[in-house]
Chain A
Amino acid sequence: MRRFLATASVTALALTGLGACGDDDGGSSDGCKKSDEPAKVIKVRFAGDKVTPNGDRVAVETCQTIEFIVAADAAGEIHIHSDPEQELAYKEGEHSFKIQIDKPGVVTVESHDLDQTIVQLEVD
């Protein structure tokens, strides 16, 4: 019984500790400070119902600037499944978009019109 109580209190303390730390980090996680890393350029080409790249993994740093250079033969939207989600709307022709991702993880970048994954960003 005593052991049970001891275990329970340690667990409770540990959980409280986790909770507290979580709050601290929660504040700093919003947005990115200026990053010194050079931008990662990803060239995206839409042609008909095809898009390149087509499902590749791209390694980037947390908060590194990622520049999508989009060449498209029709208007559309790129969805970035980061948290929160980001959307890039483009028209026919060539466009450049810059984004940053403020949390580590794997982020899928896709075209919903084509139902295709363009790249998966491995943010570390």
Chain B
Amino acid sequence: MDSIVEAHGIGGQQDLPISLELAISGAVAALVVSFTVLAVAWREPRYDAATSGRPAPAWLQRLVTSTAFRATLRVVGFAVFAYTAMAAVLGRNVLTNPAFGIFYVLLWVGVPLLSVLVGPVWKAISPARSINWVFAKLSGSDPDRGVFEYPERLGLWPAAIGLYAFVWMELVYPHQTDLASVRFWCAAYVALMLIGGALFGNTFYERADPFEVFSSLTAKLSVWSVRDGRLIVRSPLANLDSVEVRPGLVIVLGVLFGSTAYDSFRESTHWVKFVQRSDISGTTLANLGLLAFCVGAIVVFSVGCMLTPVEKVARRELPDQFAHSIVPIIVGYFIAHYFRYGFEVGQQTLIYASDPLGKGQNWLGTGNLTVSYWFTFHTQLLAAIKVGAVVLGHVLGVVAAHDRAVKLLPRRHQLTGQLALLVAMIVFTAGGLYLLFAG
């Protein structure tokens, strides 16, 4: 029986749709808060990345900057990577192979959400960074520097392409639960990361590694940051303001946002029926759907940013300048769509991890545990968490955008200049709630 590989991704049931009442109250709350922020919030920029926050306690500073701590994280990260590679190469091509859950759930959902709590996780454990470090030490060079300078103009574009390659694999590619596909994807990823690291040094990982870019962006919603070697504690909004603006930032966020929305949309009855009645192949429609959601998100956001009078900055720079404000909206969406799924499949993956070769063994002693379906059975609570996450993400996004607007827009247009962006954000949030309701 277990030789059958499902063509449906991992994790069985999906969440129930939220009630209409909840969707509407969420949307109304988002609307009210948006205009309240606009009406009563500060008129002078409040967040300054160079000065905000206060130093973390000395013991914490000593701990996180210590070589032992950093080395431990690298060793743990590399061990998990090696273990996963073993399961992917020597294990069996069945959904109980833990490599699937590690790749699609722990890496994609777990790492970014953990980063919201503790800061940039992937940067600390990335196996490619570790290998690059070892190579550099062996050859007596500096892991931070490569043969060339990383081209500024390239910005985050490579990461955007990598992220799209991931979501395409997850949401479009029909053989996404074929172990060989996952193996090939990961091998290509590791190879490109090692070449990039050798050519451009650690800067490459910061801007081109899709998982590091994603995890370091969600980490900006944590209270943790490092400035001039000091560990700083500051409000998530102040931290968010320190997202570095680079070419392609809005593309990265558009891919993350659009793909999450598409994942929800593709399960809706309308889409399922449309695809099945159409003469065009399901894969073609999935390709077009994913692309349309990503491009749509980028266009709606960019137009929202640019429909304003400008003085200090060029109009075309505005989407990247405001892009950090969609990070909380994405995290809200992410929690709404993957929270219960990640909680359950994450546990299931830890159970499967005890038998990486598929021989019925129990290496880690987790093999006999059972999954807690607590959130599945508390449907009301789950729905409230989902709507709460979307609305909270929206509020943080609006506040972050407001602060950036009073910094960048001409003084007399500070409020009216924000209106188009505010409408774009309301569209995102109402759309997200609609998908939770109709999905």
Could you tell me which A residues sit within 8 Å of B by CB distance?
A: 1, 18-19, 21-23, 25-26, 29, 54-57, 79, 81-85, 87, 101, 103-108, 110, 112, 115-117, 120, 122-124
Contact check: which of B6, B14, B376, B379 meets A79 at CB < 8 Å? B6
A23 & B372 in contact (Cβ 8 Å cutoff): yes
Q: Flag the segment in B250-258, B272-280, B318-326, B352-360 that touches A.
A: B272-280
Contact of A106 among B13, B273, B372, B377 (CB under 8 A): B13
A83 close to B272 (CB less than 8 A): no
Interface residues of B (CB under 8 A from A): 1, 6-8, 11-17, 57, 267, 269, 272-273, 276-277, 282, 344, 370-374, 376-377, 379, 439
| Most chain A CB neighbours (cut-off 10 Å) among B13, B372, B439 | B13
Asked if A26 and B370 sit within 8 Å, CB to CB, the answer is yes
Q: Is the CB of A85 within 8 A of B6?
A: yes
Specify the chain A residue showing the minimal Cβ separation from B1.
A87
Q: Are B269 and A120 in contact (CB under 8 A)?
A: yes
Minimal Cβ-Cβ distance residue in A for B272:
A55
The 8 A-B pairs at the shortest CB distance, nearest first, are namely: A22-B372, A83-B12, A105-B13, A22-B374, A55-B272, A55-B273, A106-B14, A103-B376
Tell whether, in the assembled complex, residue A115 and residue B16 are in contact, meaning their CB atoms are under 8 Å apart. Answer: no
Residue of A79, A87, A122 near B17 (CB, 8 A) is A122
For A29, give its contact among B1, B14, B373 (CB under 8 Å). Answer: B373
Complexed CA–CA distance, A112 and B5 (Å): 11
A71 to B115, CA, bound (A): 51
A81 to B13, CA, bound (A): 6
Query: Interface residues of A: mostly helix, strand, loop or mixed?
Result: mixed
Within the complex, the shortest CB–CB distance from B264 to chain A, in Å, comes to 11
Q: Are A81 and B272 in contact (CB under 8 A)?
A: no
CB <8 Å contact, B272 and A117:
yes
Contact of B376 among A54, A55, A104 (CB under 8 A): A104
Contact partners of A56 in chain B: CB under 8 A: 269, 273
Alpha-carbon distance between A55 and B372 when the two chains are bound, in angstroms: 30
List of B residues within 8 angstroms of A110 by Cβ: 8
A101 to B376, CA, bound (A): 13
User: Which residues of B sit under 8 angstroms from A1, Cβ to Cβ?
Assistant: 57
Please give the distance in Å from A27's CB to the nearest CB on chain B: 8
- Can you list 11 contacts pairing A with B, beta carbon distance less than 8 Å? A22-B372, A25-B372, A26-B373, A54-B277, A85-B6, A85-B12, A87-B1, A101-B13, A104-B16, A107-B13, A108-B8
Quick one: given A82-B12, A85-B6, A85-B12, are A103 and B272 in contact (CB under 8 Å)?
no
CA distance A100 to B79 in the complex (A): 41
Residue in A18, A21, A83, A87 whose beta carbon sits within 8 Å of that of B11 in the complex: A83
What would 7 more interface pairs be, CB under 8 Å, given A26-B373, A26-B374?
Answer: A23-B372, A26-B372, A55-B269, A105-B15, A106-B439, A107-B13, A115-B7
One of B7, B57, B374 near A25 (C-beta < 8 A): B374
Point out the residues of chain A lying under 8 angstroms from B7, CB to CB: 112, 115
* A19 and B372 contact, CB distance less than 8 A: yes
Is A25 within 8 A of B277, CB to CB? no
Q: Which residue of A is nearest B376, CB measured? A: A103
On whether the beta carbons of B376 and A105 are closer than 8 Å, the reply is yes
- CB atoms of B272 and A124 under 8 A apart: no
**CA A104 – CA B15 in complex, angstroms?**
8
The one of B13, B17, B372, B379 in contact with A83, judged by C-beta atoms closer than 8 angstroms, is B13
Question: Are B276 and A18 in contact, CB atoms less than 8 angstroms apart?
Answer: no
CB A124 to nearest CB in B, in angstroms, measures: 6
Among A57, A82, A83, A116, find the residue whose CB has the most chain B CB atoms closer than 10 A: A83
Residues of B within 8 A of A84 (CB): 12
Q: Give Cα A54–Cα B273 distance, bound, in whole angstroms.
A: 7
Cα–Cα distance between A38 and B272 once the two chains are bound (Å): 28
CB-based contact B13/A115 at 8 Å: no
Complex Cα gap A60–B181 (Å): 36
Q: How far is the CA of A22 from the CA of B346 in the complex (A)?
A: 14
Indicate whether A106 sits within 8 Å of B6 (C-beta atoms), given known contacts A26-B372, A55-B276. no
Is the pair B379, A104 in contact by a Cβ cutoff of 8 Å? yes
- Residue from B1, B13, B344, B379 within 8 A of A82 (CB atoms): B13
Residue of A nearest to B15 (CB): A105
Which residue on A lies nearest to B13, using beta carbons?
A105
Instruction: Tell me whether A124 and B379 are in contact in the complex, defined as CB-CB below 8 angstroms, given that A23-B372, A104-B16, A106-B15 are known contacts.
Output: yes
Q: Are B374 and A21 in contact (CB under 8 A)?
A: yes
Q: Kindly report which residue of chain A lies nearest to residue B270, judged by CB atoms.
A: A55
